[in-house]
Amino acid sequence: MKVKDIINKANDDLIIGLSYLMDKSKSYLYLNSHEELTSDIEEKILSIEEDLNNGIPLQYALGYWEFLNISLIVDKRALIPRFETEIIVDYIIKSDFKKDKILDIGAGSGAISLSLSKNLPQSQVLGVDISDEALSLCNENKNNLNLTNVNFIKSDLFDNISDKFDIIVSNPPYINEKDYLALDKKLYHEPKLALYGGKDGLYFYKKIIDQANDYLNDQGHLIFEIGYDQKDPINELLVKSDFKNIINLKDFNGFDRFIIAQKG
């Protein structure tokens, strides 16, 4: 089987899958379409094709995915790390915020915690999650990446936290009931626990904002990824809890996607 036999199937996910397996860019594949696949890669790409035909997301079919400058194991234990989330990680890395101690609530695969610890070697990062399965994935990823300035513990939001942090970051489950029922079928392969944010999608923001002041150092920052229609209600909650210097950021599609606020 040749590269062009995959290209000819005209399935973008399959071509991306092949570029991951061969560790080559998509343009390399188009320019070298007569290249023969090794039997190992042929076997893997055919199995990925079968998974895709069964509606399994490419990232789970591959079993790993790139996030910023790290490669993560991804499987159904946690949400697939989204490209958009790299925006907020990059923002934190480049910001002049104090960031000696960072807390990531709802660590999932560990994407945010691990990419921050990798790129901020002076920072100490703590990732928490309520899911034992997610935590086992976080720790596998941590070990693969040989990072020592990050730890993961089980905690329902702040329940097992006693420390204070310079930054609290979270990409909590934020999809509301109506949108959850209308999701693309592919997303039902991901844990509902990682996507569903209660009837109005705001359940976790309310709880985090309510308690965050107790866990932030003075002038510390609370940073969220949010749903496309949640900017106004979350800004309001932040103002009510005395947060200041609120910044709203959009994603690459122009949707409101992030909020940054400072302890008042």
- 14 or 195, CB closer to ligand GLN? 195
- Residue from 17, 110, 127, 173 binding ligand GLN (CB under 6 A): 173
Q: Does 112 bind ligand GLN (CB under 6 A)?
A: no
Q: Does 195 bind ligand GLN (CB under 6 A)?
A: yes
**Nearest distance from residue 147's CB to ligand GLN, in Å?**
23
- 174 or 243, CB closer to ligand GLN? 174
Q: Which of 243, 242, 240 is nearest to 223 (CA)?
A: 243
CA gap 144, 156 in Å, rounded: 26
Q: Does 243 bind ligand GLN (CB under 6 A)?
A: no
3-state class (DSSP) for residue 211:
helix
- 152 or 196, CB closer to ligand GLN? 196
- Residue from 62, 68, 138, 175 binding ligand GLN (CB under 6 A): 175
Q: Does 174 bind ligand GLN (CB under 6 A)?
A: yes
Which listed range, 14-22, 118-126, 145-153, 166-174, lies at the site for ligand GLN (CB under 6 A)? Answer: 166-174
- 49 or 190, CB closer to ligand GLN? 190
Sign of CA dihedral 19, 71, 79, 221: negative
**Nearest distance from residue 197's CB to ligand GLN, in Å?**
6
CA gap 130, 151 in Å, rounded: 14
- 21 or 61, CB closer to ligand GLN? 61
Per-state percent for the chain, helix, strand, coil, to nearest 5: 40, 20, 35
Q: Does 170 bind ligand GLN (CB under 6 A)?
A: no
70-89 residues in contact with ligand GLN (CB under 6 A) are 82
CA gap 177, 228 in Å, rounded: 14
CA gap 32, 168 in Å, rounded: 46
**CB neighbour list of residue 262: distance below 8 Å, 6 or more residues apart:** 219, 220, 221, 222, 243, 244, 245, 246
Which listed range, 88-96, 149-157, 167-175, 237-245, lies at the site for ligand GLN (CB under 6 A)? Answer: 167-175
Total of chain residues touching ligand GLN, rule CB under 6 A: 8
**Nearest distance from residue 129's CB to ligand GLN, in Å?**
13
Sheet holding 150-154, edge to edge: 150-154, 124-129, 101-105, 165-170, 216-225, 256-262, 244-250
- 20 or 180, CB closer to ligand GLN? 180
CA gap 80, 195 in Å, rounded: 11
Residues that bind ligand GLN (CB under 6 A): 82, 171-175, 187, 195
